[in-house]
Amino acid sequence: MTSAFVRCAAFGALAVLSVSVAPLSVASAADISGAGATFPYPIYAKWADAYKKETGVGLNYQSIGSGGGIKQIKAKTVTFGASDMPLKPEDLEQAGLIQFPMIMGGVVPVVNLKGLKSGDVKLSGTVLANIYMGEITKWNDPQIKALNPDVNLPNTAIAPVYRSDGSGTNFLFTDYLSKTSPKFKTQIGANSSVQWPAGIGAKGNEGVASMVKQTDGAIGYVEYAYAKQNNIMYVGLQNKDGKAVVPKIESFQAAAANADWANAKGYYVILTDEPGADSWPITGASFILMYKDPKDPATSAEALKFFDWAYKNGAQMAIDLDYVPMPESVVSMVQKTWSQSIQSDGKPIWTASAK
């Protein structure tokens, strides 16, 4: 049993899913192999379990972070990579890859503050940046109190928890902080891995969730499904329109509504700090990376069948875990990309009749 499956136990009900996360070396030849983002892991696990029951085809997915997923697909050790940080069109071209969005969701700041409940505390991007830069060190700091005049904030030291591994969650979080704090943008910047000046590192969404739960006064950032499955208190955020919002599927959908997928080359879309009174400011898509000319066309075709099935049959499962399914218009664009761009010997490996 691998560590990825052990970590799954933190998700409560998700622990019973029979999705295989065995080392790739022992995967069945019929199984699809993937690696990368922890952000979509709960929904990929749920889809994989349902798909295997229906088709007999398994998904061996390593939840190792977006950086690891990019490395593994470039090393050609997996059928697909998964990343919450989209690769730029020129990087895709250089590597011979395509990418497409599979699911959308939200990254949420989570805290461990006794006597308070989710949504009681509101923060802004600037204040959040100041916390992670080590400039705000107590929960009753005047900057936090100004946003929460009616909340009894404790005189507790803040313990920032950050992702220690290269990850798309890191990218979305730091991209948001860079957009809302010029100082953060200059001194730290947006990337899948950055040098944090303060705090405690933890690996994966699951590692951050666990560390926050066991540390009084902690604050971290995780994909929303992890916050819900682990019953961790989340904070509200002041969005670009100056409105205080809480994370929920409607606020993720509001942010995603502005996405211009049709005109985004390589589907390069970042959904942080989007306008709109109801928009959650740290929303993002999770992407799949595959080769245009795969070394194993048959397995790549099986992977596309799985993704096609997930688009068509997995929307309610995604909503149940508070992800945002891709709109049908985007799915149609993605399927056209599959037919036109993923080929073997000059012929598409996926067509409408292959479904």
pLDDT class for 352, splitting at 50, 70, 90? Answer: low
* pLDDT tens column, 193-202: 999 999 999 9
**Average of per-residue pLDDT across 62-91:** 95
The beta strands (E) that lie in 233-282 are given as 233-234, 236-238, 244-245
pTM (global) more than 0.95? no
Question: 107-257, what's its fold?
Answer: D-Maltodextrin-Binding Protein; domain 2 (3.40.190)
Whole-number Å distance between alpha carbons of 209 and 184: 24
Q: With a cut of 80, say whether residue 355 has pLDDT above it.
A: no
Q: Where are the domains of the chain?
A: 3-105+284-354, 107-257
Local structure of residue 197 (DSSP, 8 states): S
Q: Quick one: pLDDT at residue 325?
A: 95
**Angle CA(244)–CA(247)–CA(253) in degrees, nearest 5?**
100
**Identical fold, 3-105+284-354 and 107-257:** yes
Place of tokens 């945002």: 324
Please tell me the predicted confidence (pLDDT) of residue 166. 85
Q: For 256-294, write each residue's pLDDT tens digit.
A: 988 899 999 999 999 999 999 999 999 999 999 999 999
* Average pLDDT score over residue span 37-64: 94
Assess whether pLDDT exceeds 90 at residue 25.
no
Q: Which CATH class is domain 3-105+284-354?
A: alpha beta
Residues 308 and 108: their CA atoms lie apart, in Å, by 28
- Return the pLDDT at 30: 60
CA dihedral (256, 229, 235, 221) in degrees, to 10, reads -70
Nearest to 4 by CA among 73, 61, 57: 61
In whole angstroms, what is the distance from residue 72 CA to residue 50 CA? 25
